[in-house]
Amino acid sequence: MFQADQVEIRLLVDNWVDMLLPDHHAHGHGCEIDVERWGLVEHFDPKLLPPQAENGISLLVRATRGRTTTTILFDAGLTGSVLVHNLAALGEPPSAIDHLVLSHGHPDHYGGIYDLLASVDRPLPVITHEDAFLPRFAMMGSGRASGFYNARLNQGDVEGSGGRLVLTREPLDLGWGVRTSGEIPRSTPYEGTPEPSGPGAPGLYQVQRDGHFVVDQVTDEQALVIDVRDRGLVVLTGCGHAGAVNTATWASSLFDGKRPIACLIGGCHLGFPTTPTENIDTTVAALQELEVGSVIPMHCSGLAAVSAFRVAFGERFVQPSVGSLLRIASDG
Ligand SMILES: [Fe+2]
């Protein structure tokens, strides 16, 4: 299998934007990440548009091998307006995107899909798990149920808007050292289990094919993994419903456990109100045990987990902010 010479990851949509962060080189333990910020100068330039934050995630991935590059959009944020705005604000043309990968079928990950498809002037492969389209609703602790909150995501509308669906629960090789994870096995006892319903906390349910409502395990959650020569695996996680440790472990196994994990970037799903606080320490310790070079916790990771990763990874920690460009490159 090929390896990328370099990968660039633009933090296109996230819950946070901070214009005061400086450029940064995260290093140590095999981790080498150059971080270019969309900083104070850009935010205050009257000729530029400032990028916006929202409660969603979208990562623009450019993997280069030799003279060729493939560009993949991993998730599409919560709203099309923010996704399209940020693409324009950050000078990233939608026409350069070769594939859209949806980590799973939650609105904060697919929300911008139709505006994105409208802004790309040709059919675009959309790779996801077939369970992403199962009808979902939330049952609140009070017993009140929502409507089907993922009703906007349906196969007919995606295809009718120019998407070309590739539905698979298996890993998919996209070339340039990039693979989707396929379904992620739930092997740790503390991750990937549904949160209990309590006051103010939703328990999520989904319809299975036989029409029965069952607890939503978010079986559709997939990661994106890029193998960078001399560096190791760059693991992108959308919301981390499968668990950050399960995701890192599975990503490693896709490469026969022979490649180090350079970094894990994305949602770690430790910010949910009913997630036990001890899960944060357990997760941090397990990722250190796996010798993950750096963790860049975004979106649903939660402030307590972000703080714990900051302490545990020190100089190797990178604070996420919309607009930042991360570059992981081989020795050349
Ligand atoms: Fe999410």
Compute the distance between CA of residue 90 and CA of residue 252 in angstroms, rounded to an integer: 32
Q: Report CA(274)–ligand 1 centroid distance (Å).
A: 15
Band of pLDDT at residue 216, cut at 50, 70 and 90: confident
> Does 271 map to a domain?
yes
Compute the distance between CA of residue 3 and CA of residue 179 in angstroms, rounded to an integer: 11
238 closest CA partner among 126, 164, 128, 114: 128
> Does 197 map to a domain?
no
Q: What is the CATH number of the domain that holds 284?
A: 3.60.15.10
Band of pLDDT at residue 195, cut at 50, 70 and 90: low
**pTM of the entire predicted model:** 0.96
Q: Report CA(108)–ligand 1 centroid distance (Å).
A: 5
The pLDDT of residue 275 is 82
Give yes or no for residue 142 having a pLDDT over 90.
Answer: no
Q: Report CA(249)–ligand 1 centroid distance (Å).
A: 21
> Does 72 map to a domain?
yes
Domains of the chain: total: 1
> Does 306 map to a domain?
yes
Residue with tokens 């760059």: 234
Q: Report CA(2)–ligand 1 centroid distance (Å).
A: 30
Compute the distance between CA of residue 89 and CA of residue 230 in angstroms, rounded to an integer: 33
Q: Report CA(13)–ligand 1 centroid distance (Å).
A: 12
Neighbours of 25 (CB within 10 A): 11
Range with the poorest average pLDDT among 63-67, 124-128, 213-217? 213-217
CB 78 within 8 A of CB 104: no
Q: Which residues pair with 72 in a beta bridge?
A: 61, 99
Write the pLDDT tens digit of every residue in 253-269. Answer: 999 999 999 999 999 99
> Does 194 map to a domain?
no
Q: Report CA(68)–ligand 1 centroid distance (Å).
A: 32
Query: Which residue range forms the structural domain that includes residue 254?
Result: 6-189+202-329
CB 237 within 8 A of CB 104: no
Query: How close are the terminal C-alpha atoms of the chain, in Å?
Result: 19
**Checking DSSP bridges between strand 58-65 and strand 6-13, what pairing results, if any?**
antiparallel
> Does 23 map to a domain?
yes
> Does 195 map to a domain?
no
Give yes or no for residue 210 having a pLDDT over 80.
Answer: no
Band of pLDDT at residue 198, cut at 50, 70 and 90: low
Give yes or no for residue 287 having a pLDDT over 90.
Answer: yes
Q: CB neighbours of 162 closer than 8 A, spacing ≥ 6?
A: 117, 118, 120, 122, 123, 124
Band of pLDDT at residue 209, cut at 50, 70 and 90: low
Write the pLDDT tens digit of every residue in 220-254. Answer: 999 999 999 999 999 999 999 999 999 999 999 99
Average model confidence (pLDDT) for the chain? 93
Q: Report CA(238)–ligand 1 centroid distance (Å).
A: 7
The pLDDT of residue 211 is 74
Give yes or no for residue 138 having a pLDDT over 90.
Answer: no
Q: Report CA(57)–ligand 1 centroid distance (Å).
A: 7
CB 188 within 8 A of CB 245: yes
**How would you class 22 by CB atoms within 10 Å of its CB: exposed for 0-12, middle for 13-18, buried for 19 or more?**
exposed
Three-class HEC string of 5-23: CEEEEEEEECCCCCCCCCC
Compute the distance between CA of residue 299 and CA of residue 58 in angstroms, rounded to an integer: 10
> Does 196 map to a domain?
no
238 closest CA partner among 152, 322, 301, 172: 301
